[in-house]
C-alpha cells in the first residue's frame, strides 16, 4: 500500500479544482495547470479534496498510485505559490546577466552562452553569480535549471561552474609532489 497515495490531496483556498474522468485541472492566482492520470488510477473529488486510488490491484496500478497523488499536489502548489530553483555560479570571470528575457552566461568559453527560456518560465539574476528560475510547472522549472547547469557543471577540483544553491560538491585532492 502506498502511504503517500492513501492521503487525499486537500484543495487549498483560492484554487478551483475540477476532475473530469482522468483529468485534474487546477486554476489559481498564478495560472492554470492540468494532470491526466493513467488509466490504472481512479481520481475523484470528494469533500473539497482529490482522492487518488488504484483502479485495480495490479503491481502497475500500485506503482503509479503515489506518483499520481504527488503530481496532483504539485499542480495545486504550482498554481497557488509557484516553484523556483536557485543556481550559483563559481569561478573567476563567470557571470550571468539578462538580455531582455534571455539569459546571457559568461562561463569561460570563447563566446557568451545565450539561453532563451521557454514560455511560462521566468529567469531572474539578482547578482551576477546567482540565477533564479521560477514558474508554475515543477517539472519545467527543474528541466530549465538542469539545462542551464549543463553548460558548465561544477568541477571537483576547484568547484568552478554552475551548481544548484543547495548542492554540495564533493571535492577531490589535487596533484602531489
Enter the pTM of the model.
Answer: 0.89
- How far is it, in rounded angstroms, from Cα 176 to Cα 68? 52
User: What is the CATH topology of the domain spanning 3-80?
Assistant: Outer Surface Protein A; domain 3 (3.90.930)
* Percent share of the chain, pLDDT over 70: 99
pLDDT at 1 (0 to 100): 60
In the predicted structure, residue 4 carries a pLDDT above the cut 90: no
pLDDT at 116 (0 to 100): 96
For residues 87 and 163, the answer to whether their CB atoms sit within 8 Å is: yes
Q: Where are the beta strands (DSSP E) in 21-129?
A: 23-27, 32-36, 41-46, 49-54, 83-90, 95-99, 102-106, 113-115, 121-127
- Give yes or no on whether 3-80 and 83-164 have one common fold: yes
pLDDT at 2 (0 to 100): 65
CATH class entry, domain 83-164: alpha beta
DSSP classification of residue 7: S
User: Length of the chain, please?
Assistant: 177
- How far is it, in rounded angstroms, from Cα 163 to Cα 160? 9
- How far is it, in rounded angstroms, from Cα 131 to Cα 58? 44
pLDDT in tens, 31-79: 999 999 999 999 999 989 999 999 888 998 888 999 999 999 999 999 9
Q: Are strands 9-10 and 49-54 parallel, antiparallel or unpaired?
A: antiparallel
In the predicted structure, residue 81 carries a pLDDT above the cut 90: yes
User: Taking the domains of the chain in order of start, what are their residue ranges?
Assistant: 3-80, 83-164
For residues 151 and 144, the answer to whether their CB atoms sit within 8 Å is: no
Amino acid at each position: 500500500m502506498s502511504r503517500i497515495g492513501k492521503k487525499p490531496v486537500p484543495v487549498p483556498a483560492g484554487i478551483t479544482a475540477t476532475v473530469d474522468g482522468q483529468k485534474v485541472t487546477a486554476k489559481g492566482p498564478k495560472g492554470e495547470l492540468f494532470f491526466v492520470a493513467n488509466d490504472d488510477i481512479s481520481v475523484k473529488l470528494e469533500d473539497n479534496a482529490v482522492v487518488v486510488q488504484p483502479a485495480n490491484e495490479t503491481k502497475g496500478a500500485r506503482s503509479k498510485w503515489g506518483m499520481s497523488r504527488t503530481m496532483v499536489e504539485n499542480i495545486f502548489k504550482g498554481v497557488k505559490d509557484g516553484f523556483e530553483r536557485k543556481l550559483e555560479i563559481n569561478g573567476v570571470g563567470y557571470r550571468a546577466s539578462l538580455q531582455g528575457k534571455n539569459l546571457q552566461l559568461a562561463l569561460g568559453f570563447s563566446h557568451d552562452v545565450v539561453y532563451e527560456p521557454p514560455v511560462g518560465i521566468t529567469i531572474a539574476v539578482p547578482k551576477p553569480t546567482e540565477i533564479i528560475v521560477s514558474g508554475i510547472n515543477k517539472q519545467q522549472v527543474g528541466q530549465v535549471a538542469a539545462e542551464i547547469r549543463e553548460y558548465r557543471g561544477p568541477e571537483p577540483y576547484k568547484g568552478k561552474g554552475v551548481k544548484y544553491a543547495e548542492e554540495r560538491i564533493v571535492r577531490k585532492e589535487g596533484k602531489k609532489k
